[in-house]
Amino acid sequence: MNYLAHAYLSFHHPEILVGNMISDFVKGKSRLGYSVGVQKGITLHRLIDDYTDSHSATLQAKTIFHPYYRLYSGALVDVVYDHFLANDHSIFTEASLYQFTHTVYQTLEQYHMQLPPRFLLMLPYMKAENWLYNYRTKEGIGKSIRGLVRRSAYLTDYETAILLLNENYDFLESCYQLFIKDVKSFAEDQLSKQD
């Protein structure tokens, strides 16, 4: 899952949210330098990622991207899932998504002293361009896919990924629908085990 999903699966717990959002920027034992709540969020993020990667719906969704993107197919599915989450009217209205995203940015800014340097550098761009909210549009998700390809060591072609998303939109949305309730239950269960 990508940033919006990790924020959503923090269940309005500020420190869990911080850990869940920064986990990819925290390596090895450096996580022990964070508060217990942030550490729980870091752990939750990693558990969610493992669960997502092995879920049958995700494995099906990856088949769309794998012939062209191999190891990056999972990362593309993560971004695509955020698009469908942003448009999931059983979870967000357009207005509630907008409010949710601003609450996320405010929370992250309140914890700015705990944010890893690379995440701290990225946060103003995330907020100014409202990445989390703009996942809902095809233009916004296209920009996220372009960013993913740009940051990768071995990819240069983002247009094929956008084309594959558009050509397989309904199928990928059905994969998301099969997945989202399962991952929410899993995340809630994992959080309760950490208490």
Angle between helices 73-86 and 169-194 (to 10 degrees): 90
The pLDDT, as a whole number, for residue 188 is 97
The pLDDT, as a whole number, for residue 156 is 81
Among candidates 97, 175, 163, 160, which has minimal Cα distance to 132? 97
> CA-CA-CA-CA torsion for 51, 56, 58, 62, nearest 10 degrees?
130
The pLDDT, as a whole number, for residue 178 is 97
Q: Which residues of the chain have pLDDT under 70?
A: 195
The pLDDT, as a whole number, for residue 1 is 73
Terminal alpha carbon distance of the chain: 23
pLDDT in tens, 17-61: 999 999 999 998 898 899 999 999 999 999 999 999 999 999 999
Among candidates 63, 92, 71, which has minimal Cα distance to 5? 92
**pTM of the predicted model as reported, rounded to 2 decimal places:** 0.95
State the greatest distance between any 2 C-alpha atoms of the chain, in Å, as a whole number: 45
